[in-house]
Amino acid sequence: MQLSLLDLPWWGHVLVTLGSTHLTIASVTIFLHRHQAHRALELHPIASHFFRFWLWLTTGMATQEWVAIHRKHHARSDLADDSHSPQIHGIWKVLFEGAELYRMESKNAATVEKYGHGTPDDWIERKLYAKHRGLGVLVMLTIDLALFGPIGLTIWAVQMLWIPIFAAESVAVSTALCAPLVALPTVRAIVPLISLISVIDVPLIAIIDSPARIAFCPDRG
């Protein structure tokens, strides 16, 4: 008895998992980072809302909070109140507890108010995406189970872990590589952890963004 709507081979499940997680990374890179936080990229409203909807399903993150925390990271880079800084918190804490650092800073109303301006504030953001964040990931779980059966639980778990693990690594490495040379041995030790993501996402950024706006080291403005 088939327990799923789709009957895929094992490699089909792998491709679906990699495709969906890469879409989540792309949504963070294109929508949250380049479009919302830095205003370096204009998106059609349909594309913008698609990314927002997908992130609600796969991360439960609120756009305003993510943007505010990231802008503050640039404005206060490596200072005491920079929640992303491996120089302040230690690179391993940023790597393995980055999601918790994010949650703590998201509760800082002053950060959200000062740095979160210009983000979506429409009805669906206020009444659904920001208000019912957990609902999105439950909807994603339901979709995965319906489409793929019991293996959908594993696919969903990977989707949920992708951003907390790989996004934290990207921030930590990019910041540490711009830090004093003393950080380099630690950076060399963790580079293999992000090699796959870098191979995929660096060309993506180069395609969708202006070369004049691409900088490896984070700015402070």
Residue 104 within a domain: yes
**pLDDT at 178 exceeding the cut of 50:** no
pLDDT at 102: 84
**pLDDT at 46 exceeding the cut of 70:** yes
Residue 221 within a domain: no
Residue 60 within a domain: yes
Q: What is the pTM of this model?
A: 0.76
Kindly report the number of other CB atoms within 10 A of residue 9's CB atom: 8
Contact (Cβ atoms closer than 8 angstroms) between residue 35 and residue 62: no
Q: What is the number of structural domains in the chain?
A: 1
E strand spans, the chain: none
Residue 179 within a domain: yes
Residue 2 within a domain: no
The structure tokens 């792309």 sit at 26
Q: What is the pLDDT of residues 141-176, one digit of tens each?
A: 999 999 999 999 999 999 998 887 776 544 444 444
Domain of 200 in residue numbering reads as: 10-213
**pLDDT at 125 exceeding the cut of 80:** yes
CB neighbours of 41 closer than 8 A, spacing ≥ 6? 30, 34, 35, 208, 209
Residue 5 within a domain: no
Q: Helix, strand or coil for residue 120?
A: coil
Q: What is the pLDDT of residues 58-113, one digit of tens each?
A: 999 999 999 999 999 889 988 889 887 888 888 778 777 777 888 889 899 999 99
Residue 220 within a domain: no
Residue 36 within a domain: yes
Kindly report the number of other CB atoms within 10 A of residue 17's CB atom: 20
